[in-house]
């Protein structure tokens, strides 16, 4: 399966794609540029806005607008609570990536890139607590695991930084599918579209003509809706 270019954004470090069901747009960020992108697949238009500082993630707020993780805000693995307090989830992290939940919200999947593996926590959806971290499965090269997303069947789609692809893994580590991306530095996949059947993929700058662009594939499986931040 091959991904196709949908926005030739030439981002320095594209990351954090997320489907906004309110606007039917794909949100994503260019971290060092401090830009939040809002891509409308119906028209192909992109509506970026400048944050003015490094921005690591964007999520819709239930009350309206967006919540942003900016340079002064987050590092390593933290949880932002609805009251806007911050709770540390895990310390001793090298390059914090990944983050996705099983369809029943009982497990939280997580990537600490330099461990070359996908880890898993037991997750309590009521409290937001994540405990009992352990390795779920190792990730073989080429490339290193970066962002991930979970589909409606409970399988994990993992971007391979330096691997020019996104792999679909079963929870026991078996590769079930591969999406080839014409940019070596794939960063994170996300499901979007009206039925959440489009797999969008962000990338970072590199030697390829469309590196740093936003790509899409048709994987034949649907994703799970993203939750808005309650605060």
For position 155, which CATH number holds?
2.120.10.30
Residue 224 lies in a domain: no
Q: CA–CA separation, 122 vs 138, rounded Å? A: 18
Q: CA-CA distance, 217 to 88, in Å (whole number)?
A: 35
Q: Is residue 230 part of a domain?
A: no
Domain count for the chain, please give it.
1
Return the residue matching tokens 């489907």.
19
**What is the C-alpha separation between 164 and 101, in angstroms, rounded?**
24
pLDDT at 109: 96
Burial grade of 173 (CB within 10 A; 0-12, 13-18, 19 or more) = middle
**229 within domain boundaries:** no
- Range of the structural domain that residue 50 is part of: 4-217
Q: What value does the mean pLDDT take over residues 74-103?
A: 65
The answer to whether residue 225 sits within a structural domain is no
Indicate the pTM of the whole model: 0.91
Query: Is 146 inside a domain boundary?
Result: yes
Of 35-39, 66-70, 78-82, 164-168, which range is least confident? 78-82
Tell me the average pLDDT across 163-170. 98
User: Can you give the pLDDT at residue 73?
Assistant: 46
Q: Is residue 182 part of a domain?
A: yes
In a domain, 31, yes or no: yes
At 90 the pLDDT is 61
pLDDT for position 72? 54
222 falls within a domain? no
Q: Taking 90 as the threshold, does the pLDDT of residue 227 lie above it?
A: no
Q: Which residue has the higher pLDDT, 57 or 103?
A: 103
Q: Is the Cα torsion angle 142, 130, 170, 138 positive or negative in sign?
A: positive
Q: Average pLDDT in the 221-228 region?
A: 90
């Amino acid at each position: 399966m091959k991904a196709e270019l949908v926005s030739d954004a030439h981002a320095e470090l594209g990351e954090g794609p997320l489907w906004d069901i309110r606007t039917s747009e794909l949100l994503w960020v260019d971290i060092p540029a401090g830009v939040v992108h809002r891509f409308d697949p119906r028209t192909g238009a992109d509506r970026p806005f400048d944050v003015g500082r490094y921005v690591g993630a964007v999520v819709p707020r239930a009350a309206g607008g967006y919540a942003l993780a900016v340079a002064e805000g987050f590092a390593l693995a933290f949880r932002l609570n609805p009251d806007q307090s911050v709770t540390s989830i895990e310390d001793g992290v090298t390059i914090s990536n990944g983050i996705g939940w099983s369809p029943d919200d009982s497990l939280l999947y997580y990537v600490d890139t330099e461990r070359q593996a996908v880890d898993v926590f037991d997750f309590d959806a009521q409290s937001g607590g994540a405990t009992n971290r352990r390795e779920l499965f190792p990730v073989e090269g080429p490339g290193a695991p970066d962002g991930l997303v979970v589909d409606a069947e409970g399988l994990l789609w993992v971007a391979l930084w330096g691997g020019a692809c996104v792999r679909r893994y079963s929870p026991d580590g078996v590769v079930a599918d591969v999406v080839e991306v014409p940019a070596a530095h794939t960063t994170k996949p996300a499901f979007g579209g009206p039925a959440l059947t489009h797999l969008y993929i962000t990338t970072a700058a590199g030697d390829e003509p469309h590196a740093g662009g936003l790509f899409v594939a048709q994987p034949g499986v649907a994703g799970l809706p993203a939750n808005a931040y309650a605060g």
